[in-house]
Chain A
């Protein structure tokens, strides 16, 4: 538990009465229980690294882009969806993460939910193409993992995406 090293002594308020008298000499110091690093101790933790991207199907794209404020997997991405669904069907031991992303505008948490909506749209499309839900996890990075760092429309379009990563 966090300790309170900071003990203070408040001079009692018998002061209302002694207004025009001299200075009250009775300020006392609070005792301090430590000579250490002070009350506001914070212990730092180092987070570990996440899992890396493993091999998936060769020559099948890994990224599906979305229109502004849209969660629809456009027909042009059907080959990608079908390529990964086929790979998962033939590799039942492999698992995939579908990582939803948004552009940076607006609330981080709301963007996380919007990215989730995108990743779940890809999961549904992959399921329709025959992939098993048990091999897929739809997650979201919201605006935390941009592909492009600028603030132009092109940058935003690069960031509205789902990335397909094998674990």
Chain B
């Protein structure tokens, strides 16, 4: 197996071309199917007039902001064609009459060197207060990111929590016999191909700094674990032992990976350096031990084992030793994802032949089914612990959904008409 050390500029160009050809970049209209289902309890009504100059912009900024905010489950957006921008002082009483609690208005215009200037200002309509604004000078490729940044600013100002709209997702598509690993915006748009292969790719996992993806590739006709630097395309084979190598999970400090290897017989957990050094065996069982996930403090591993019969989630120290069982309800509980705040575990539970996404409050052990679909897979928490992305089936299509952790607001992500699977939500971008 060779490492890919390739000319940077050539592959940047090729990557962009491939992404265009792959066509999840279909502009405008198709992008805004935030299919929100269910009703949240308290949604803040926010007015988002179309940004001035938006009709000439390649990206519909205010609609991207609106879709982001609605997907969070915390906002209800009021569209408006009113002619205003960040310099306009709102007519507060009129907006109160329209039941808006907040308003964000802005503009988008061309600037020098092919760049775009995006500006906005946020207002508290109830208190008649200016909540500040931002300006961005960006190349065209970053217009969507500017919109996501605006949504993050609004979310943070109005909820007091960090927004996740400018983070990134990784996921895998299958088209014919072709598998592609994509890196996309948190709304599933703006997807760029990171890897394409004639064999399957599974279990992508973001490094804590957002610069690398670990994943399992079958390109050598067996599962091996790569660590892949997203920006350059350089990748390193970190686990290619005899047998199967799979299920990479990053330690919170980004220095190690927990992996499942069969090199010593059976599927067992090991810790290995992110550079492939220092292999250490963690479990010594006669059973299957796989799907490891670090706790946010890095001290424990959650994992799936069939040591009690069917697969259940267990927890053990990364130093080794005994394991405590975490899931009890049902005889098939798999694919844990731990929220970054350590409070929640999302996982898939089989009940009456249905594979459904569940969320457990770890402190109490109380678990709730949050979907009514049949084929949910591979949940992954957003870095603010408020949303989960997961794969499921709608008819014959495999699709990605986001949901709030109470299951009340769900949205189908972009990328229709494809076989999409294995989502992984990246960290906050610095």
- Residues of B contacting A106 with CB < 8 Å? 332, 334, 348, 350, 355
Interface assignment of B386: CB less than 8 Å from any CB of chain A: no
- Residues of A contacting B223 with CB < 8 Å? 112, 139-142
Which single member of A27, A50, A108 contacts B121 (CB below 8 Å)? A27
Tell whether, in the assembled complex, residue B168 and residue A120 are in contact, meaning their CB atoms are under 8 Å apart.
no
**Which of B124-132, B272-280, B320-328, B360-368 lies on the face that meets chain A?**
B124-132
- Residues of B contacting A114 with CB < 8 Å? 288
Bits for A94-123, please: 1 = Cβ < 8 Å to B, else 0.
Answer: 000101000001111110111011001000
Cα(A46)–Cα(B193), bound, Å: 10
Interface assignment of A90: CB less than 8 Å from any CB of chain B: no
**Which of B24-32, B43-51, B66-74, B261-269 lies on the face that meets chain A?**
B261-269
Taking CB atoms and an 8 Å cut-off, the chain B residues in 177-206 that contact chain A are 183, 185, 190, 192-200, 202-203
Interface assignment of B99: CB less than 8 Å from any CB of chain A: no
- Residues of B contacting A99 with CB < 8 Å? 221-222
* Count of interface residues, chain B, beta-carbon cutoff 8 Å: 99
Nearest CB in chain B to that of A139: its residue: B222
B82: min CB distance to chain A, Å: 16
> Do A45 and B235 form a contact, CB below 8 Å, given A40-B190, A107-B291?
yes
Tell whether, in the assembled complex, residue A108 and residue B231 are in contact, meaning their CB atoms are under 8 Å apart.
no
Interface assignment of A8: CB less than 8 Å from any CB of chain B: yes
Bits for B107-137, please: 1 = Cβ < 8 Å to A, else 0.
Answer: 0000101110101010000011111111111
Cα(A37)–Cα(B140), bound, Å: 8
Interface assignment of A144: CB less than 8 Å from any CB of chain B: yes
**Which of A9-17, A54-62, A81-89, A152-160 lies on the face that meets chain B?**
A9-17
- Majority SS at the chain A contact face: loop
A66: min CB distance to chain B, Å: 15
Tell whether, in the assembled complex, residue B355 and residue A141 are in contact, meaning their CB atoms are under 8 Å apart.
no
Tell whether, in the assembled complex, residue B132 and residue A15 are in contact, meaning their CB atoms are under 8 Å apart.
yes
Bits for A1-13, please: 1 = Cβ < 8 Å to B, else 0.
Answer: 1111110111111
Cα(A48)–Cα(B265), bound, Å: 28
Tell whether, in the assembled complex, residue A113 and residue B200 are in contact, meaning their CB atoms are under 8 Å apart.
no
Cα(A47)–Cα(B199), bound, Å: 9
> Do A107 and B335 form a contact, CB below 8 Å, given A11-B133, A27-B119?
yes
> Do A108 and B219 form a contact, CB below 8 Å, given A2-B231, A40-B142, A46-B196?
no
Tell whether, in the assembled complex, residue A138 and residue B243 are in contact, meaning their CB atoms are under 8 Å apart.
yes
- Residues of B contacting A29 with CB < 8 Å? 111, 117, 119, 135-137
Please give the residue numbers on chain B whose beta carbons come within 8 Å of chain A beta carbons, in ascending order. 2, 4, 6, 8, 11-12, 14-16, 18-19, 86-89, 111, 113-115, 117, 119, 121, 127-142, 145, 149, 153, 168, 183, 185, 190, 192-200, 202-203, 210-211, 216-223, 228, 230-233, 235, 242-244, 246-247, 260, 262, 265-267, 288, 290-291, 304, 311, 332, 334-335, 348, 350, 355, 377-378, 421-422, 429-430
- Name 9 interchain pairs, CB-CB below 8 A, sorted by A: A9-B135, A30-B136, A35-B113, A39-B142, A45-B4, A50-B221, A105-B355, A108-B377, A110-B288
Kindly list 5 other residue pairs between chains A and B, CB separation below 8 angstroms, not including A50-B219, A108-B378, A110-B304. A23-B86, A30-B136, A45-B6, A112-B267, A144-B218
